[in-house]
Amino acid sequence: MATFAKLSFNKDELNKELSGFFKGILENGAVDAVLAPMAQGKKGVRLSLITSAASSGAVDPFAPVAAVSGAKIASSLTARPSGRKVAMVLRPCEIRAVVELVKLKQVNLDDVLMIGMDCLGRYENTDFAKFQEQGGTSESFLEKAQAGNTASGDFDVAGACKICEFPAAANVDLRLCAIGSGGGTVHIEAVTEKGQAALEKSGLKIGDNPSGRDEAVKKLVAVRTEAKDKKFAEFRAETNTFQALGEKLSACINCYNCRVACPVCYCKECVFVTDTFRHTGDQFMMWADKGGMLKMPNDTIFYHLTRITHMSLFCVGCGQCTSACPNDIDLMPLFRTSADKTQAKFSYQAGRSVEEEQPMAGFESDELFEVTGQAK
Amino acid sequence: MDLKGSIPDLWKAIYNTGDLHHCFNCSTCISGCPASFGDPPLLVRNLARKVILGLEEELLNDDTPWACVSCSKCEEMCPMDVKPFEMILSIRQWQSANDETRVPPSIVEIYKRGYTQAVGVNTELRDSLGLPELMTITKNPEQLQMFREMLMKTPVVSANDYMFGG
Amino acid sequence: MAEKKPTGTVLVAGAGISGIKAAIELAEVGYKVLLTDASTQIGGILAKLDYQFPTDHCGMCRMLPMVGREYSSQYCMRKSLFHENIEIMPFAEIQAVHGDAGNYKVDLLKRARYVDPLLCNELEECIAVCPVEVADEFNHGLTKRKAIYQAIPHNTPKLLAIDKQACTNCGECVKVCTPGAINLGAQDEMVTREVQSIILASGVKLYNTTEFEDAKSYAVSPDVVSSLAFERMMSSSGSYRDGEIKRPSDGQPAKNIAWIQCMGSRNRRQKRDYCSSICCMFALKEAVLAKEKGGPGVESTIFYMDMRTFGKGFQQYRDDAVEKHGVNLIRCRVQGVMRNPDGSLQIRYFDPETNEFVIKDYDLVVLSTGQIPYETHKKWADLLNVKLDSRGLLATEDYSKIRLAGKPGLFICGSLMGLTDVSEAMSSGIAAAGEATKFLTGIGADTVKEEEIAEPTAHERELSLVSVAICKCGEKTGANGIDYELLSAELQRYRGVGEVNVIDSMCKENGETAALDILSKTKCNRLLIGACQPFMYRQNLKNVARKAGFNSSLVEVFDLFGIARKGMTLPSNKEWTLRAAHEVKADIEKLKFKPALHVSTLPINQTALVVGGGIGGMQSALSLAARGVPVHLVEKDGQLGGYLGNNVEATVDGLAPMAMAKDMQLKVYQNKNITVHLNCEAEGTVGTLGSFESKLVYKDSDEKIYLHHGAAIMATGGHEGATSEYGLGSSNLIMTQGQLKKGLASGDIDVGGAENIVMIQCVGSRQKEGRHYCSRICCMWAIANALKIKEKNPDARVFILYRDVMTYGFYEQYYSKARTAGIIFMNYSLDNKPQMEMVEGKPVVKFMDSILNEEIELPADLLVLSTGVDPEESNSKLAKAFKVALNDDGFFAEADSKWRPIEFQQVGLYLAGTAHSPMPLKSVIMQAEAAAQKAYAYLSGREVHTSSVISKVKDALCIRCQRCVNICPYGARSYDDMEKCINVDPAACQACGMCAVECQNNAAEVTGWSDKQLLSVIDAKLMDELLLSPVE
């Protein structure tokens, strides 16, 4: 049975209340550090690593932005662990990427108190800047978004968020609940024993379940699932030939930003920047010969197809690839639609559970027969 | 079944050859045996087992050896060379020798019908192959009568004529 | 100056799989082998089989050596065998053998094949024009062939021959044969060869459906076929097409198929009182395959007497066949097959399940036809002037299945020992090679000294420049219309090509000199050679290249012929020369991006470790010690001998294990090369082939020593199984076969007054709960004990209650002997097990007599239980220590159940005897010999050449996700937690490429197969249309 602590706030005081909570867990020794979105200067909210309670004043967990995927940051902090306990405040998609990275041994959760937040979507980085200029705050966003309206002027939340079926975070110790909490209130839910202990140490009063939450989450998921199915159908129709796919990707300039932004594209150095793809002049000439001309830079579709084969089993649908593209190629549906099929083949869902083994990552003993002829 | 009363050496009295013990109950002898179609069927394999186990009582009362039609297919096919047909003849001999009043029911049948086995089987198959219908003695009452008279002259039938319906 | 020793040469007569295995083993140690076969090609029976138990795949290639694979050009064993130390002489018969051990002169009759394989261009134009059509014996007459034909469809080279009995001498083939390879007047030829030792591996004949005496009752239609013919029916190179098994008579699909076992075997009337051993598994496999390949609705039914699933994994296979695949097993031998007017086949049988007769129609009947050993044995006995034993078989020494009695230097293996399955054929081939090696070592014969050609260095960073050398091959390829000038010009203008040379007959001396002359002056650093039969000449051509200064990893040989054949469909010579050029470009690309590879060598520690001091362990130790290898023999108990050596005085076939063990012990202790460690266990091992370090712990003192060794043999044996069934231990009238055996020998058990003695077989065995395997020796033990009882008390009645009597092979004679001694065998089934109840202190056994279908109640004076063989409990500890696998039953899991029965997946580790699975003493000894040979083969070198083609880690790219570690089937990859990096064991890596597939980071790569290289090859292939436009 999950326990909740209610956090009521006065107007413009949500972040103050939340920072109180983080202060609490830092001061009482539940954790040694907190990684949380925090306002940086006047503009922009970035994940920040806070080790001193005194420095936690500007946290802004619900800010509708994710400049880089927190999963990448989680990897930086824990792949080679510090030995200190850290609370991480991440969005559901970031946590699902973390789950994949744990299996790939790129994140170590031993000393992590995972805090997930309800996510009603995020704006692209440039849009978020506009949002802030327009005077938007996390509170105002939560209020509008809960009412079903995420648009703000001529922009809206990222396409990935609109079709995301995971607004509530799983695989967490604590959850920051905004959906269905009611105005002026958020709840902090302890999901695990570890979370429970931290919640107790934070000094917040425990009790009072948000009664409308489950229903509200369910409703939101239904809306997004419908949007997702529609998007998938549209995209599949638009890319049903190799040529159509080529056109979708025609603006690609091989900057590889999408792979840098992708939280589960975990290679140190992408194969596309290694010697394998350093072609010789006569190779280029030969390819040009074949069709009379060669579009440069070449290998753009090949690059994306390779990424699909590499990543679609792990894709969590965060949409960072689309956000990162300087040429406005909407890559997210390409990866989500292919991931939808590849993951289904193995009854696998990226980010669902740490225990669930990644497909094709192990050697089953009955495969020995096939591959090596080894007797049982 | 109790083996208490069984006689381990009974086989010596019935079919005293080493051949019998070679039997490993493979069922070759029965699988195509024409007498195994009968009721009760002749099960050569079972007779061999009874002899080996020394089941004297059961063997004395077993009429199936008399259903053998001497086709000797079992003899020909037995992989262990048990010579089952010879065993059947030996069992008959032993039965007769050990029970003077014994009249095998098959003799009664021969007397009544002219034959022991269902000779008329496969009529459809014969027909489909264009073979003529088998003429059996049953279909010829005069000859059957003559046959019975001949049989009546043998000691086993005449001495037990009460069994042959007069 | 020391006298030059002769090079050891061994004649292996018979090129079935056991002969091939023996030949490969000898050749790998460095002896010369002359491998002959009476038929036109090699491969024996296995050449006909596409599918083998238990994987239901072909796997002959798995018998090839695992270390240094790229030295040979051998990939597929079904094509043929190529090894520089093996001379293959097919279609040759031994006519006479003169001389003595160590100095044989063998007269061989090489039969004329009328087609010279060296001249043949393999274009098969001769076959096309041949007007004669006869039944193809390879496919058992299911297909037709011409008088000029290729005997095995998958052979390379094709090795055409003319069947002179069918040939009409019309001469059409001669007319179309441009290279002049056909000589209709060719004569058989007599050659004499000198060899030091002979291994007979001829196998024995198998019946075909018309050859045995009962055939008239069964083979009543073309739809009654032998089991071997059925293999051909299921083969795509046989008559199998369109996913259906077809009746030979009318091509209709065969849906209802019956197998009849023991055709010609287990038949006293035909004087064949033996079991052919393999037919039960053969039939089960075929029945399963028929259901899998024959499409829906196929019913498989096997009529059997005893289902002899005695080998490792066999019981499991049988259970799966019945439960998973729905194969019907009916225990009834049928009297014959009837042909119905509509052509279908009728079988009448007695169903023991229902106790009723059933008449059923089948589309196809397969006869499991057995072996005919006596003719073959007689032939060899006459030729070699050796005596036959009382059974008409070549007599081997008492404890050996391999060594011919009284004839040093003469050995047998394979089916000559009694029909053997693949696994045993492999063990026997290795063991025979081992015996021959010991013999050759004894007479001082030398191994072949390899010609040392220094490997030229390759400069990795040089720009690739490819030299293409095309062998003109006499008139062979020219005659096929290749325009060499055009080909050269086409290739010359291709990027990366430095020069193109057309050289004639590079396989011959002239060509070789010419090639050396041209190539030593080249500026190119890579060499691509186009030749015929690259399989055959690859090694030679690579040597030439090496002499000319090319690093051998930068030399590739491609099949010019294969390309020529493909081009035949194109209309003009010009067009298909261009096509050929295009094909070659892909090879150029592959070579261009190939890195120079280097073979590294690891030093080999010359010491061997043998774990287990039973008879098998002692045999391995003695065998290795005899060849000068220092051996450490580790035994966990306080004495040597193992279970058999300390408990069993005599076996049913007249062996005396206890006396033998005593004798061996003496030899072991006297041998300076053997160090014995009693009360000692191996607890941990690090290292790899050639360099292991094992921790040995003495149980009594806790003292530890660390032993360095180069190889290890697991020979841990087993012991009689335990059971809680049938009140064992509750009464002194209830005992195991082992206890009875001991009691009878010592006289502690008196059977004098006993009336009824009951033995129950398979107690706790061959069932899913318990030992899910046949222990292979219990039937023989029961029979031995029963015979002993009969000897002591002829009046005692002994009942043996069995499920299947597993007296396979020539053990069948003891089953017969037992029956004639009056021992009564009664069959029971698993769902109707015998029951036991104590009545007045006496065990009363209740069981169903399946024959009379009546329950029998029998007070037993003794109740004896066959409790099977358990593996040693220490196996699990050892498996952990040596990182090798155990199977579900607790026995060690060999690398491959058929093809590599005595090796582990991890190189340098071997297993023998009951550590592998329960087996009779002679098989234990044979395996121990084989394991010793395998270990010796590696230890005899001073260093081990790792494969140059192995997977590597590009550390800078590696992200340490360890997915490659999890996926490596050979355990060659590990994560070093201290250094935080992935390590590859070069001796264990088999370059299968799983890691490279798994690694998305390109950090795992199989050397010589880089992405860059493969992408270039793909590119070259895709450039098709463009590059087909010729130079103007």
C-beta pairs of C317-326 under 8 Å, 24+ apart in sequence: C317/C53, C317/C54, C317/C281, C317/C284, C317/C285, C318/C284, C319/C768, C319/C772, C320/C288, C321/C284, C321/C287, C321/C288, C325/C287, C325/C288, C325/C291, C325/C292, C325/C300, C326/C291, C326/C300
For range C411-435, the mean pLDDT: 93
Cβ-count burial of B97 within 10 angstroms (0-12 exposed, 13-18 middle, 19+ buried)?
A: exposed
pLDDT of amino acid C1008:
79
Out of C835, C869, C903, a domain closes at C869
Q: Identify the domain boundary among C869, C888, C903.
A: C869
Look at strands A33-39 and A86-90 and give their pairing.
parallel
Q: Is residue A128 predicted with pLDDT exceeding 80?
A: yes
Statement to judge: residues C882 and C895 lie in one domain: yes
A357 Cβ contact partners less than 8 Å away, ≥ 6 residues apart: A103
- Whether the predicted pLDDT of C478 surpasses 60: no
- The answer to whether residue C476 scores a pLDDT higher than 70 is no
CA distance C247 to C342: 13
C-alpha–C-alpha distance, residues A202 and A206, integer Å? 10
User: How many angstroms separate the CA atoms of B83 and B19, rounded?
Assistant: 7
Regarding whether C289 and C231 lie in a shared domain, the answer is: yes
List residues bridging with C526 in a β-sheet: C466
| Beta-bridge partner residues of C329 | C302
Does the structure show a pLDDT above 50 at C1030? no
Q: Let me know whether C502 and C646 are in one domain.
A: no
Residue range C53-80: average pLDDT?
68
Interval A237-257: pLDDT, tens: 999 998 999 999 999 999 999
Tokens of C222: 């073309």
Burial class for A222, CB neighbours closer than 10 Å (0-12, 13-18, 19+): exposed
Residue A218 has pLDDT above 50, yes or no: yes
**Is-contact C196 C10, C-beta < 8 A?**
yes
Q: Mind telling me how many Å the CA of B121 is from chain C's nearest CA?
A: 14
Quickly state the pLDDT bin for C214 (edges 50, 70, 90). confident
Q: What is the pLDDT of residues B22-55, one digit of tens each?
A: 999 999 999 989 899 888 899 999 999 999 999 9
Residue C658 Cα, gap to closest chain A Cα (Å): 32
Q: Mean pLDDT in chain A? A: 91
Instruction: Tell me which chain B residues have a C-beta less than 8 angstroms from the C-beta of C348.
Output: 31-32
Q: Is residue C739 part of a domain?
A: yes
CB contact under 8 A, B45 and C851: yes
Of the candidates C537, C527, C534, the one whose C-alpha atom is nearest the C-alpha of residue C458 is: C527
A abuts C (3+ Cβ pairs < 8 Å): yes
Question: CA angle, corner A234, sides to A229 and A235, nearest 5?
Answer: 100
User: Is there a domain that residue C1012 lies in?
Assistant: no
CATH topology classification for B10-98: Fumarate Reductase Iron-sulfur Protein; Chain B, domain 2 (1.10.1060)
Domain boundary residue, one of C869, C897, C923: C869
What is the C-alpha separation between A366 and C888, in angstroms, rounded? 12
pLDDT over threshold 60, residue A373: no
User: Of C212 and A311, which is predicted with more confidence?
Assistant: A311
- State whether C342 and C297 are in the same domain: yes
C335 contacts B77? CB cut-off 8 A: yes
pLDDT digits (tens, 9 = 90+) for A95-107: 999 999 999 999 9
Q: Is the pLDDT of residue C291 over 50?
A: yes
Place of tokens 């029961």: C782
Distance from CA of C981 to the nearest CA of A (A): 13
Q: What angle do CA A356, A360, A362 make, to 5 degrees?
A: 75
More reliable by pLDDT, B157 or A74: A74
Mean pLDDT of A176-183: 88
Across all residues in chain C, what is the average pLDDT? Answer: 89
Regarding whether C119 and C105 lie in a shared domain, the answer is no
Residue A178 backbone dihedrals phi, psi, to 5 degrees: -115, -35
Pick from C958, C969, C1023: which is nearest to A368 by CB?
C969
- Are residue C443 and residue C472 in the same domain, yes or no? no
Please, are residues C834 and C759 in contact by the beta-carbon 8 Å criterion? no
Structure confidence at residue C1032 as a pLDDT band (50, 70, 90)? very low
Residue C56, pLDDT score: 67
Taking chain C, what is the end-to-end CA distance rounded to the nearest angstrom? 67
The reported pLDDT for the residue numbered C307 is: 97
Indicate yes or no: CB of C858 within 8 angstroms of CB of B3.
yes
Note whether residue C103 is domain-resident.
Answer: yes
Residue C763 lies in a domain: yes
CA distance C256 to C270: 30
| pLDDT at site C479 | 52
Residue B39: per-residue pLDDT: 81
CA distance A36 to A55: 12
Quick one: average pLDDT of C781-790?
96
Tokens of C562: 């294969």
- Contact residues of A toward C, CB < 8 A: 104-106, 266-269, 271, 274-276, 282-283, 286-287, 289-290, 310, 358, 360-363, 367-376
Range of the domain at C568: 466-595+1020-1027
Q: How many other CB atoms sit within 10 Å of the CB of residue C943? A: 11
Establish if C455 belongs to a structural domain.
no
Q: Are C411 and C198 a contacting pair, CB within 8 Å?
A: yes
Q: Do C969 and A371 touch (CB under 8 A)?
A: yes
Mind telling me how many Å the CA of A349 is from chain C's nearest CA? 18
Give C230-243 pLDDT, tens digit per residue: 999 988 788 777 77
The number of distinct structural domains making up chain C is: 7
Single-letter code of the amino acid located at C1002: N
Percent residues over pLDDT 70 in chain C: 95
Q: What is the DSSP letter of A212?
A: T
Question: Does residue C700 share a domain with residue C684?
Answer: yes
Distance from CA of C55 to the nearest CA of A (A): 6
CATH code of C768's domain: 3.50.50.60
Considering only CA atoms, give the Rg of chain B: 18
- What is the count of residue pairs from A and C with beta carbons less than 8 Å apart? 104
C632-654 confidence digits (pLDDT tens): 999 999 999 999 999 999 999 89
Structure-token pair, residue A59:
């946290």
What CATH number should be reported for the domain holding residue C958? Answer: 3.30.70.20
Residue C1028 has pLDDT above 70, yes or no: no
Q: How confident is the model at residue C484 (pLDDT cuts 50, 70, 90)?
A: confident
Are C327 and C420 in a shared domain?
no
pLDDT tens digits along C859-904: 999 999 999 999 999 999 999 888 888 998 999 999 888 889 999 8
Q: Is the pLDDT of residue C690 over 90?
A: no
Taking residues C661-672, report their average pLDDT. Answer: 96
**Domain annotation covers residue C620:** yes
Q: DSSP code of B4?
A: T
Reply yes or no on whether the pLDDT at C60 is more than 90: no
Q: At residue A376, does pLDDT exceed 70?
A: no
Q: Packing angle between helix C1011-1022 and helix A281-291, nearest 10 degrees?
A: 30
Among chain A residues, the shortest Cα distance to C993 is held by A371
Torsion C770-C776-C782-C785 (CA) sign:
negative
Report the range of poorest mean pLDDT among A36-40, B137-141, C257-261, C784-788.
B137-141
For chain B, the structural domain boundaries read 10-98, 105-164
pLDDT band at C290 (very low <50, low <70, confident <90, very high): very high
Indicate if C613 and C546 belong to the same structural domain.
no
Closest CA to A62 of A119, A9, A135, A16: A119
Between C567 and A221, where is the model more confident? Answer: A221
Tokens representing residue C852 in the block: 């009379």
| Closest chain B residue to C799, measured at CA | B53
What is the rounded distance in angstroms from the CA atom of residue C644 to the CA atom of residue A346?
A: 51
pLDDT of residue C73: 53
**Could you give the CA distance from residue C718 to residue C868 in angstroms, rounded to a whole number?**
10
Interval C802-825: pLDDT, tens:
999 999 999 999 999 999 999 999
